[in-house]
Amino acid sequence: MPKSVGLSKDKNWWRQAAIYQIYPRSFADSNGDGIGDLKGVTSRISYLKSLSLDAVWLSPFYPSALSDGGYDVADYRDVDPRLGTLADFDELLAELHKVGIRIFVDIVPNHSSNLHVWFKEAIEAQPGSKARNRYIFRDGKGENGELPPTDWVSHFAPSAWTHESVMGGKGNQWYMHWFAPEQPDFNWDNPEVEKEFLKTLEFWADRGVDGFRIDVAHALKKDLSEPLRSLPVFETLEERGNKGKGILADRDEVFKIYKQWRKLFNQYDPPRVAVAEAFVHPERLPLYASTKTLGQCFDFRFIETPFEAAAYKESVQDALELALKNKSSCTWTLSNHDQIRHATKMGLNSAVDRRSWMLSNGTSHPLDMASGTQNALAATLFILALPGSTYMYQGEELGLHEVTDIPASQIQDPQYLRNNKMDKGRDGCRVPLPWQKSGSSFGFGTGGAHLPQPSWFADYSVEAEENDPNSALSIYRIALGLRKSLITEEKIKWHKSGNSSVLHFSRPNGWHCITNFRGESYPMPKGEILISSHPLTDGKIPAGTTVWLKK
């Protein structure tokens, strides 16, 4: 096992960490082919270090036909040749560890790619064979099996079933996929699948990987008992409920898998950690975040919480209560590779229907980019001061906005391509990062970018922001640096602000956080100002500003 130089010995490092998500294809391109790669990430270690991060999480970099941005994995234990080699991965890991940054990789256990060797075997094999039993193959309905076995719907296609002939099968069965047809779901009732994933986790943990982000962690176990039950629509979380008996997701049996994974994680020193992506009823979240299972679970509530004092306070209270129940820590996140960038959400009138706005290429309603970035920074400082871990998404430290006008012909996302173009999809937050004010692909690489970058990226580039003390990048750097030394017990105390648009809380060590969400400037309480997300006006905290104080 590679020695980890420069990492803290604290086994609880993950409880209040600052974790930065890298979408490798769009971070930095080392060889000028327009696609970000692992060497590109390694070349930017000093940048990552300047953000005082505890860890980076890499979205999938495995071999993939990119039917779903890499979440269609053809081989779980290799690197896509366009992104590098395993040796490049080892080098990246070693260099990150040297500067004290840990690494999470993304595990996609619900489905593979149709190009995975197991699926290729399954398509060639007979119904009822061992190879088919690793996935979910069934006979169709109708006189000649010409109709899908059930009415189940998929996230990226009308039906969750595709006839095997589409993938070159010679028989008359259908296979199940909760996402794109190129993402066949595994049959997790088959112990061979369990064993295979344990091997994959071990493979990366042995290489020195510190943590795992678990994709669609709630969907591995399904009710596959015959006759298969009907589920013609996506249930809301409320409809699915808290009983652990969903048809396609959130079944109690899933925790047997994660308990096994936990045993494996605990064999390492320090124990490997994991964070679940689980869209489940809030009361079910603690089960995924339990120290007996995955240990931590994303809490996505801030992704949709309007930037308003009351809504923010309620979200924090709920999350803190849940964390107490599961003995885990809270997780906070404002953006990721599946979401419209939060600076954009916060610069748009909250009454605007974002889906239609995106389909209008961002033209149907005005976007106030400056106030969006300002509010986004205030929100970031607010969540960074809370107990728990913060997961950030590449580019948010630049105050970057969503790219809304990617031409239809260049869109890559199945959320657009496979949903009758009813949703612009997620490419707008996956556009390669601007490093420089000018030059080929704004310094992303020497050979263009795989998604088009708008001209306004120049003003949001690292180069443009680096020397501006009030830029988003400067604020992130200072705040994240300060946070390292301010981290304390996982508790907060609310203070009366006397203003319904202002929230004020403190941590046990006298670290105070005050956010003015809207309206009039708020008089600054006494204390040493550590940082302000936006300059004060006449010594007061303007709307859309967070201040950290030490008392």
Q: Is 161 in contact with 184 (CB distance < 8 Å)? A: no
Q: Which is nearer to ligand NOJ, 65 or 352 (CB)?
A: 65
Q: Which of 359, 220, 225 is nearest to 294 (CA)?
A: 220
3-state helix, strand, coil in the chain (%, to 5): 30, 15, 55
Q: Which is nearer to Ca ion, 31 or 315 (CB)?
A: 31
Q: HEC string of 346-399?
A: CCCCCCCCHHHHHHCCCCCCCCCHHHHHHHHHHHHHHHHCCCCEEEEECCHHHC
Q: Using the rule CB under 6 A, is 68 a contact of ligand NOJ?
A: yes
- We find the least distance from the C-beta atom of residue 335 to ligand NOJ, in angstroms, to be 12
User: Tokens 């490798």 label which residue?
Assistant: 24
Which listed option, Ca ion, ligand NOJ, none, makes contact with residue 265 (CB within 5 to 8 Å by class)? Answer: none
User: Tokens 């960074």 label which residue?
Assistant: 384
Residues in region 336-365 near Ca ion by CB under 5 A: none
- We find the least distance from the C-beta atom of residue 25 to ligand NOJ, in angstroms, to be 12
Mark residue 428 as left, alpha or beta (left: phi above 0; alpha: psi -120 to 50; beta: remaining). alpha
Q: Using the rule CB under 5 A, is 215 a contact of Ca ion?
A: no
Instruction: Give CA separation, 286 vs 17, 252, 318, 330, 362, in Å.
Output: 19, 12, 12, 10, 38
Interatomic CA distance for residues 140 and 172, integer angstroms: 8
Determine the distance from the C-alpha atom of residue 200 to the mean position of all C-alpha atoms in its chain, rounded to a whole number.
20
Q: Which is nearer to ligand NOJ, 338 or 423 (CB)?
A: 338
Residues in region 41-60 near Ca ion by CB under 5 A: none
- Report, in angstroms and rounded to the nearest whole number, the Rg of the chain calculated over CA atoms: 23
Residues in region 254-293 near ligand NOJ by CB under 6 A: 277
Which listed option, Ca ion, ligand NOJ, none, makes contact with residue 71 (CB within 5 to 8 Å by class)? Answer: ligand NOJ
Q: Using the rule CB under 5 A, is 31 a contact of Ca ion?
A: yes
Exactly one of 90, 124, 338, 423 binds ligand NOJ (CB under 6 A); which one?
338
Q: Where are the alpha helices (DSSP H) in 394-535?
A: 414-417, 462-466, 472-486
Q: Using the rule CB under 6 A, is 108 a contact of ligand NOJ?
A: yes
| Those residues with Cβ within 8 angstroms of residue 450's Cβ, 6 or more apart along the chain or in another chain | 25, 26, 34, 35, 412, 432
Q: Using the rule CB under 6 A, is 423 a contact of ligand NOJ?
A: no
Exactly one of 18, 19, 22, 35 binds Ca ion (CB under 5 A); which one?
35
| Span from 68-76, 79-87, 343-351, 432-440 in contact with ligand NOJ (CB under 6 A) | 68-76
Which listed option, Ca ion, ligand NOJ, none, makes contact with residue 216 (CB within 5 to 8 Å by class)? Answer: ligand NOJ
Element (H, E) at 296: strand 295-297
Q: Which of 292, 297, 215, 298 is nearest to 259 (CA)?
A: 292
Q: Using the rule CB under 6 A, is 71 a contact of ligand NOJ?
A: yes
- We find the least distance from the C-beta atom of residue 131 to ligand NOJ, in angstroms, to be 23
Which listed option, Ca ion, ligand NOJ, none, makes contact with residue 215 (CB within 5 to 8 Å by class)? Answer: ligand NOJ
- We find the least distance from the C-beta atom of residue 40 to Ca ion, in angstroms, to be 6
Residue 153-182 contact track with ligand NOJ, rule CB under 6 A, x = bound? --------------------------x---
Helix (H, G, I), strand (E, B) or coil at 82: coil
- The backbone torsions φ and ψ at residue 208, rounded to the nearest 5 degrees and listed phi first, read 110, 5
Interatomic CA distance for residues 501 and 546, integer angstroms: 12
| Span from 65-73, 78-86, 230-238, 523-531 in contact with ligand NOJ (CB under 6 A) | 65-73
Exactly one of 4, 17, 25, 29 binds Ca ion (CB under 5 A); which one?
29
Q: Using the rule CB under 6 A, is 215 a contact of ligand NOJ?
A: yes
Q: Using the rule CB under 6 A, is 54 a contact of ligand NOJ?
A: no
H and E: helices and strands count for the chain: 16, 18
Q: What count of residues does the chain have? A: 551
Which listed option, ligand NOJ, Ca ion, none, makes contact with residue 37 (CB within 5 to 8 Å by class)? Answer: Ca ion
| Those residues with Cβ within 8 angstroms of residue 259's Cβ, 6 or more apart along the chain or in another chain | 292, 293
Q: Which residue is nearest to Ca ion (CB)?
A: 37
- We find the least distance from the C-beta atom of residue 203 to ligand NOJ, in angstroms, to be 20
User: Tokens 């493979």 label which residue?
Assistant: 203
Exactly one of 216, 309, 392, 462 binds ligand NOJ (CB under 6 A); which one?
216
Which listed option, ligand NOJ, Ca ion, none, makes contact with residue 35 (CB within 5 to 8 Å by class)? Answer: Ca ion
- We find the least distance from the C-beta atom of residue 125 to ligand NOJ, in angstroms, to be 25
Q: Which is nearer to Ca ion, 37 or 402 (CB)?
A: 37
Q: Which of 522, 513, 524, 527 is nearest to 482 (CA)?
A: 513
Helix (H, G, I), strand (E, B) or coil at 528: strand
| Span from 67-75, 144-152, 246-254, 449-457 in contact with ligand NOJ (CB under 6 A) | 67-75
Q: Which is nearer to ligand NOJ, 161 or 179 (CB)?
A: 179
Q: Using the rule CB under 5 A, is 33 a contact of Ca ion?
A: yes
Which listed option, Ca ion, ligand NOJ, none, makes contact with residue 33 (CB within 5 to 8 Å by class)? Answer: Ca ion
Q: Which residue is nearest to ligand NOJ (CB)?
A: 71
Q: Which is nearer to Ca ion, 23 or 382 (CB)?
A: 23
Interatomic CA distance for residues 331 and 323, integer angstroms: 9
CB atoms within 10 A of CB 537: 11
Sign of CA dihedral 399, 404, 410, 416: positive
Q: Using the rule CB under 6 A, is 58 a contact of ligand NOJ?
A: no
Q: Using the rule CB under 5 A, is 182 a contact of Ca ion?
A: no
Sign of CA dihedral 224, 230, 232, 238: negative
Which spans of this chain sit near ligand NOJ (rule: CB under 6 A)? 68-69, 71, 108, 179, 215-216, 277, 337-338
Which spans of this chain sit near Ca ion (rule: CB under 5 A)? 29, 31, 33, 35, 37
